């Protein structure tokens, strides 16, 4: 029913878990952040997290931004998609606001008159972060639903390979394909350079 669907998606951890599960298709394919945020001291899949859905729940709850970003990156890599330059700028802006809020809180330790400004900036940064994360999750959900149904968001069939395209599109298919996202609809598409 529609009420159970809306209750299931009332929080970001639930959305992140659901989208990651749908993206990886098999729980055994899960590793922490799908390996996109490995560092020298930690490598996803090496600490008992592989295939562990409890680790996914912890990741989605404690690190919702990383969970959403890694699912987005995984889907983009899986389907050979590229993000729109505008998307990257919005994400960079969100990251800069978070860092600025952090610096403002540090400065407020030494200059108490900055506490109010730090709280206001924190609220703005969090609002932007949650908005960006919601947009990323919506894009991923739209892409996964389109792939699963076999129909692109605009109603055209999803081609598994370029070779399946119609003969009249052969010239366009021979040009390098660049997948991007349509800013107006939030959908990924393939654009052909001539």
Residues 146-180: tens digit of each pLDDT: 888 877 655 555 554 433 443 334 444 444 444 44
State the alpha helices, DSSP H only, in 27-185.
Answer: 53-62, 64-78, 85-110, 115-149, 170-174
- Write down the pTM of the prediction: 0.72
**CA nearest to 190, candidates 156, 166, 144, 167:** 156
Read off the pLDDT of residues 10-60 as tens digits, 9 standing for 90 and up: 688 899 999 999 999 999 999 999 988 888 777 888 888 888 899 999 999
- Letter string b/e over residues 10-27, b meaning 16 or more CB atoms within 10 A of that residue's CB: eebbebbbbbbbbbbeee
- Rounded distance between C-alpha atoms, residue 136 and residue 72, angstroms: 7
Question: Does the pLDDT of residue 89 top 90, yes or no?
Answer: yes
Q: What pLDDT was estimated at residue 161?
A: 42
Query: Stretch 84-106: mean pLDDT, rounded?
Result: 94
- Predicted pLDDT of residue 48: 80
- Within 10 angstroms of residue 94's Cβ, the number of other Cβ atoms is 20
């Amino acid at each position: 029913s529609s009420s159970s669907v809306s209750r299931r998606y009332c929080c970001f951890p639930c959305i992140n878990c659901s989208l990651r599960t749908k993206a990886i298709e098999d729980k055994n394919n899960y590793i922490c952040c799908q390996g996109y945020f490995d560092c020298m001291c930690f490598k996803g899949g090496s600490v008992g997290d592989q295939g562990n859905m409890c680790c996914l729940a912890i990741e989605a709850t404690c690190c919702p931004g990383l969970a959403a970003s890694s699912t987005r990156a995984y889907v983009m890599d899986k389907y050979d998609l590229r993000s729109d330059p505008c998307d990257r700028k919005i994400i960079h802006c969100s990251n800069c606001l978070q860092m600025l809020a952090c610096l403002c809180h540090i400065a407020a330790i030494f200059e108490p008159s900055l506490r109010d400004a730090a709280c206001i900036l924190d609220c703005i940064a969090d609002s932007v972060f949650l908005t960006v994360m919601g947009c990323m999750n919506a894009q991923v959900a739209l892409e996964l639903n389109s792939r699963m149904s076999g129909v692109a968001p605009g109603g055209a069939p999803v081609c598994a390979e370029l070779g399946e395209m119609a003969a009249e599109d052969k010239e366009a298919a021979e040009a390098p394909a660049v997948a991007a996202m349509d800013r107006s609809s939030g959908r990924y598409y393939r654009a052909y350079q001539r």
